[in-house]
Amino acid sequence: MPGIAIQTQKLTRKFGNLTAVDGIDLQVEAGQFFGFLGPNGAGKSTTIKMLTGLLAPTSGSMQLLGLDFAAHGVDVKRQIGVVPEGMGLLERLTGAEYLQFVGRMCGLDRATTQHRSNELLDFMQLADPPKSMIVDYSHGMQKKLALAAAVIHGPRILFLDEPFEGVDALAAGALKALLARMTERGTTIFLTSHVLEIVERLCSHVAIIHKGRLVAQGSLEELRAGISGEAGNKTTLEQIFLSIVGQDGAARPQLEELSWLM
């Protein structure tokens, strides 16, 4: 049985009176491609920030690869890669310089860093123009670079916050193949995305967060089993998502109120 890559107990984060994440208990097994879904403002990014050390939990605990984050933060960070919300790039470096910086910060030696940087830049089609600063990259290029930086040290867990947003179809295809290969080799991938088709195609397991609470967690088959679809048709993730999150009637758009648009 594979080990547990990510585990949280009663993980909670409050901002003043607002509880963004409300006591969630997550469990992600090693090697899973895990999709973390939720409507806007549900608490996805807050959770990912806590799991990657960018935000301290108000209460609760979390273990990554069996290590308690609070006690072994640096050791945990050595084994994870992150594409955070906003990407967190040092924009006045070139792509190559940024990868070398991250590689060295993660403890790779100079030659390995240089070699991997070149390979990643070629793979992501970022090698040209070599002297452009990140600030001059397009959004999609920045996204690819952030992903390259997240994997340069060969992490065992990869956290991706909206990784395909702004990436063209060709590059997205190559990235998806890369991620699939990583999971085959045992890397755990924790991904948030608003594009449910991507999650459905890539992820074997899914959790849904709504208003800070975890409302569903399991494999796609387990979630489908809990939802009654139309006879003969396989229930899509979108249907699962809407049936769980859209139960709140207030969240449904009242199209008849915008009749002047139609």
Nearer to another protein, 152 or 196 (CB): 152
Say which amino acid occupies 176.
K
Question: Could you tell me the maximum CA-CA distance found in the chain, to the nearest angstrom?
Answer: 63
Which helix (H) or strand (E) is 37 found in, with range? Answer: strand 33-37
CB of 79 to another protein, least distance (A): 8
Nearer to another protein, 113 or 183 (CB): 113
**Contacts of another protein in 130-159 (CB under 8 A):** 130-133, 135-136, 149
CB of 72 to another protein, least distance (A): 10
Among 104, 176, 211, 224, binds another protein (CB under 8 A): 104
Chain-centroid distance, C-alpha 167: 15
Nearer to another protein, 26 or 126 (CB): 126
| Window of 24-32, 98-106, 177-185, 249-257 that interacts with another protein by CB under 8 A | 98-106
CB 64 within 8 A of CB 30: no
Q: Which pair of structure tokens corresponds to residue 169?
A: 């179809």
Among 67, 93, 178, 227, binds another protein (CB under 8 A): 93
CB 11 within 8 A of CB 26: yes
Nearer to another protein, 100 or 183 (CB): 100
SS3 state of residue 245: helix
Give the single-character DSSP code of 134.
G
Q: Is 82 in the site for another protein (CB under 8 A)?
A: yes
Chain-centroid distance, C-alpha 33: 10
Q: Is 89 in the site for another protein (CB under 8 A)?
A: yes
Map tokens 């990784």 to a residue: 163
E strands along 48-180, which residues? 59-64, 67-68, 80-83, 157-161
Nearer to another protein, 26 or 108 (CB): 108
Among 29, 97, 165, 200, binds another protein (CB under 8 A): 97
Can you tell me the distance from the alpha carbon of 156 to that of 102, in angstroms, rounded to the nearest whole number? 16
Q: Is 101 in the site for another protein (CB under 8 A)?
A: yes
> What residues line the site for another protein (CB under 8 A)?
52-56, 73-78, 82, 84, 86-93, 97, 100-102, 104-111, 114-115, 118, 127-133, 135-136, 149, 260
